[in-house]
Structure 1
């Protein structure tokens, strides 16, 4: 139990793993990352994220449903009861809606799966009554959906990263930042992982190495097509103090084929900003096979701007829901990366061929809400007491990714209705710059 543990990645999941292992009494834990917590490239370094409760898992559930309900149940218990996490959860409710017929079918399936009475929303007046007068001033053309008044809301994101980091540090976890991990260290027989090497040529050895570097994990290990680094886009909209007061205690508004916004963060010292996201199947930055020219992966990169087309989609979302804000300049924008598994179920397992290596990857757009559960799951996995159905669902499973379609939308809607290619982007926003737009170089 007390074998030295090395965690590669100090993002959402890396911090959760460090925290929960330290809480269980592990006394030699080191976390490596290129940046201090919260890293500017971490998907979790954000104003806020959506969180939603799930029903009790049942024996008759499919493996996918069991996985989701079980991990969400573990996480929500922490969000509601753990003194570290509970101040960061805001159960304000959740609105799920859509414009297109196919996307609306997803809303109907969501409502049916809830097993509780949700309020149907069929007109602009219906949507406008979900929030104080003056918030939703738009006409909501074609919008239809459902309002879940309790059991859902949002969590403060970067504040959660800081809280996990600070408690883990207080429990003795060592965070080493400033130099990125360049490779894992293999044994001479190539059947074990002994640790990781950083760009400053330092070797960090451990009995257990946990790879949890988000979308960057794919560059450190051959995942046999199980991961697709995928990016989404967000912008911040500044509010006046009086507007920020009006925009408190709101349900999350999520348009399956439009986008979403969450009320301003309640974190001390946070700016009065709304986070607005346009909804789409994602962007990839393709890696091509030198021999065939076919896509064999996706390579993340950092950028605190978004494609101009994404900015236009965000403006369209605002024009339909909050047109009084549609012309306001954004204060911040960035692309945000995650790693999609082939079935969007997490990949958390002991590597079947490399002793000493545990992979904790594949958030697939759902990683933050379950953050408090991930450390629990990983600790149970290491100690060979993980729920058997969870273990099966999250197993190393390259067999289902052999013929991976890198352009699969994975049941996501919005945008152009397809996974988009960063190579096709020519114009980006230039928020904070002199020009109204910049050209891709």
Structure 2
């Protein structure tokens, strides 16, 4: 335990003002903590935060069967709480769109995987989609015009849809500030370059401008950038995905409103156009990209190093257009108005990592969204606050513990039960500049 007792007046430092950092700041000040400071190298919403996005999937389904595994039980506990938060918390409620969710595959193996691991096909809440016409009927005429070759799917109408992640994050940030949290953002004053240690414990962080931010408790919630500040013993792998937007007219956007999310576990997914810029978001689906280098500052070990880029690989563009040819061929050749890579951090088992550090008792790590972090925004900060106070519920505590034993001899190229693309982890480091898109963003397209 830390030598200093935790009180509502204790100085608490949060490193990272992304989805989880903003949520944690909000929950702490709601609980009465009066000395909460948040650092980030970017203004909120961060240019590289995974949560800085017009829409993200929100899906909750209750577990079936009598003996679920611990990880599934923990994840269901989190998503159940998040869904309640999206529906009832005034900070987040305006940004949840319960439009439904379609999960699908296009090969017999993928369809069987969905039946075994994703859903319970006999459950009455899932509507089976067997033909192209079944898919088309889930949306207004003229939206889904494709032939859906080989596709089978299931539609869930409740407890799922999409969230406006960017607006929700800004809402959490605004409310946290109103309640007294202090945000220091931008380079160099908000960019943490190292944690500060004293007698073996973490006592804060230093920013690029040389300022030492001292704290009784430090929460490391810097997403994919977290392992640049702490040795996670291979528990984190920064992994990136690719997204792109298509500009639509206001009239088109109206006809695409209130659509269920359409997700093919190996092809991609899309969500309705955002209400401000009328841009349709499409993501190609794949196990992820890394940026592998031999990091001499860490003994020459292989590491994936995040970077920001508002373009995507040409092969990612081709995959996105292939998804469109199956589903909405009338849009398959339309120019992209925006694209970027989006970073998260995978743990070996894709469970979250929320725990006090075993060697530095005043440090709490809150990382490892593993592709599922943004949907947790309304309540993940509450679980992180519970962990800080030592009261995290039993069904979560063991699953999200500090667990380097799961990363021994870690296979950095593991697909971790994800599908699509070449069915392997891809490496940005191997791409030349001419293998990226050259999309010219207009001012209104920029996030």
Which bracket does the TM-score occupy, shorter chain normalised?
Answer: over 0.9
Question: Does the Cα contact within 8 Å between 2:337 and 2:441 map onto a contact in 1?
Answer: no
Find the aligned partners of 1:103 and 1:295 in 2 and give their Cα distance. Answer: 35
TM-score by length of 2: 0.93
Alignment of 1:27-426 (within 5 A): 27-55=34-62, 60-109=67-116, 110-112=118-120, 115-178=123-186, 179=188, 180-187=191-198, 189=199, 191-266=200-275, 270-288=276-294, 296-426=302-432
- The alpha carbon displacement at 1:102 in A equals 2.7
Spell out, residue by residue over 1:368-411, the C-alpha distance to the aligned partner (whole angstroms, 9 max, x if none). Answer: 11112211101111222110120100000001101100000001
Structure 1: stretches of 5+ with no match in the other structure: 435-441
Deviates more, 1:349-358 or 1:143-152: 143-152
Query: What's the counterpart of residue 18 of structure 1?
Result: 25
Deviates more, 1:251-260 or 1:110-119: 110-119
Find the aligned partners of 1:290 and 1:195 in 2 and give their Cα distance. Answer: 25
Question: Does the Cα contact within 8 Å between 2:83 and 2:159 map onto a contact in 1?
Answer: no
Change (3 A) 1:79 1:244: same
Aligned CA-pair RMSD? 1.9
Change (3 A) 1:58 1:213: farther
Structure 2: stretches of 5+ with no match in the other structure: 1-6, 443-447
Find the aligned partners of 2:369 and 2:283 in 1 and give their Cα distance. Answer: 18
Find the aligned partners of 1:101 and 1:417 in 2 and give their Cα distance. Answer: 16
Find the aligned partners of 1:102 and 1:359 in 2 and give their Cα distance. Answer: 37
Find the aligned partners of 1:333 and 1:87 in 2 and give their Cα distance. Answer: 26
- The alpha carbon displacement at 1:423 in A equals 2.1
TM-score by length of 1: 0.94
Find the aligned partners of 1:429 and 1:56 in 2 and give their Cα distance. Answer: 41
- The alpha carbon displacement at 1:354 in A equals 0.6
Q: Which runs of 4+ in 1 moved over 6 A?
A: 56-59, 291-294
Find the aligned partners of 2:370 and 2:279 in 1 and give their Cα distance. Answer: 26
Question: Does the Cα contact within 8 Å between 1:57 and 1:70 map onto a contact in 2?
Answer: no
Deviates more, 1:95-104 or 1:394-403: 95-104
How many residues align? The count is: 429
Change (3 A) 1:425 1:82: same
Find the aligned partners of 2:230 and 2:105 in 1 and give their Cα distance. Answer: 38
Find the aligned partners of 1:116 and 1:213 in 2 and give their Cα distance. Answer: 40
Question: Does the Cα contact within 8 Å between 1:183 and 1:197 map onto a contact in 2?
Answer: yes
Q: Secondary structure at the match of 2:336?
A: coil
Query: What's the counterpart of residue 439 of structure 1?
Result: none
- The alpha carbon displacement at 1:433 in A equals 7.4
Find the aligned partners of 1:57 and 1:169 in 2 and give their Cα distance. Answer: 40
Find the aligned partners of 2:121 and 2:349 in 1 and give their Cα distance. Answer: 19
Q: Secondary structure at the match of 2:50?
A: coil
Spell out, residue by residue over 1:66-85, the C-alpha distance to the aligned partner (whole angstroms, 9 max, x if none). Answer: 11110111111101111111
Find the aligned partners of 1:196 and 1:101 in 2 and give their Cα distance. Answer: 51
Deviates more, 1:233-242 or 1:52-61: 52-61
Question: Does the Cα contact within 8 Å between 1:46 and 1:158 map onto a contact in 2?
Answer: yes
